Structure 1
């Protein structure tokens, strides 16, 4: 350790780093809790309105009339593609191919974007959960080294002199563990919630494809196309 750097500054820096980790952890926890709760609420409202619509034309207006959640954004993207493909007179590369494959790919891309939104912040939780104990241990090692130098300088090895500084140094490890536990638990919980919501989005994409393509086929048959 360089002589011009006070050990107490490095130890305090370690503790402030852990404090910043803790603030970041609870900020992400609060935000993700709101996000998943809000997504579930909006998906339920959208599902009820969408599947109660009498036809696809009425269902197309549902995303515009409800608060946009993940499923509503997927449906809006799908309806936008259907509308563009019907009114597209010029041959474009993005419309060449099977309509089911093209629309399916488009919905998959939108679903991946929704998944990225759901997983945003989880990497930070995982990083904090894995590094906080080591940051705390680093502070403890420096604290013990600093305590040993002070004990050596004092020339006393009594329990009263040794126990206090070493006990203070161990606080950093305890704080590191205290910061890591909520981050790891929250990460595992939100990963599970993200998988559940992704499964719901996958089911909706399959159902949307079935309804949209069958409705298009019925419309073409009625007009003799």
Structure 2
């Protein structure tokens, strides 16, 4: 440890780092709960109205308050591709190939973007969950080293002198674990939700392809 840096500064810095980790963790937890709840609500509302539509043209013109959420954006991407393909009439390389495969690719690209949005923040949760105990342990080791120096300087090895500083140093490890546990639990929970919502998006893409294949991809029934 550099002699020009007070041990208390490093130890306090460790505790403030863990506090920052905790704030970030709970901010991400609240945000992800809001995000997944919103996505589930929008997908359920869109699914009900979309599949009750008589045809693709009617499904394409759903009101804005219904056409929200990941599945709605995937459907909008599909409709946009079909409209652009009709206007292009094969003059652009983007629309050359098997129409059904090109449409499916466009839907999958949009689905991947939705998945990336759902996974945002999970890496941070995983990182905090894996590093917080080590940050706390680092603070504990520095605290014990500092306590040992103080005990040596005092020349006393009684239990009252030793137990207090070492007990205070162990607080950093406890805080590190307390920060890591919610982060790890939240990461596993949200990762499962990502997989569930991704499965729903994959099913929607397959279903959209089925109804699109019953019509000409150039937009003609």
Same fold? TM cut 0.5: yes
Equivalent residue, structure 2, for 1:98: 98
RMSD: 1.5
Equivalent residue, structure 1, for 2:119: 119
Once the two structures are TM-superposed, the CA of residue 62 in structure 1 deviates from its matched residue by 2.1
Q: Contact (CA 8 Å) 1:46, 1:63: kept in 2 or not?
A: no
CA–CA distance in structure 2, aligned partners of residues 211 and 183 of structure 1: 42
SS of the residue 2:215 aligns to? helix
Equivalent residue, structure 2, for 1:110: 110
Equivalent residue, structure 2, for 1:181: 181
Offset from partner CA, 1:4-61 (integer Å, 9 cap, x none): 1000000000000000000000000000000000000000000001000111100011
Aligned length: 221
TM-score where L is the length of structure 2: 0.97
Stretch deviating more after TM superposition (53-62 or 192-201): 53-62
CA–CA distance in structure 2, aligned partners of residues 10 and 211 of structure 1: 63
Once the two structures are TM-superposed, the CA of residue 90 in structure 1 deviates from its matched residue by 5.6
Unmatched 5+ residue regions in structure 2? none
SS of the residue 2:216 aligns to? helix
Once the two structures are TM-superposed, the CA of residue 64 in structure 1 deviates from its matched residue by 3.6
CA–CA distance in structure 1, aligned partners of residues 203 and 124 of structure 2: 29
Equivalent residue, structure 2, for 1:72: 72
Offset from partner CA, 1:114-156 (integer Å, 9 cap, x none): 0000000000000000000000000000000000000000000
CA–CA distance in structure 2, aligned partners of residues 63 and 190 of structure 1: 30
CA–CA distance in structure 2, aligned partners of residues 148 and 28 of structure 1: 39
Unmatched 5+ residue regions in structure 1? none
Q: Contact (CA 8 Å) 2:129, 2:181: kept in 1 or not?
A: yes
CA–CA distance in structure 1, aligned partners of residues 193 and 63 of structure 2: 23
Spell out the pairing of 1:193-204 with structure 2 (5 A cutoff): 193-204=193-204
Equivalent residue, structure 2, for 1:165: 165
CA–CA distance in structure 1, aligned partners of residues 65 and 212 of structure 2: 19
Equivalent residue, structure 2, for 1:212: 212
Offset from partner CA, 1:176-217 (integer Å, 9 cap, x none): 000000000000000000000000000000000110121227
Equivalent residue, structure 1, for 2:54: 54
SS of the residue 1:23 aligns to? helix
SS of the residue 1:68 aligns to? coil
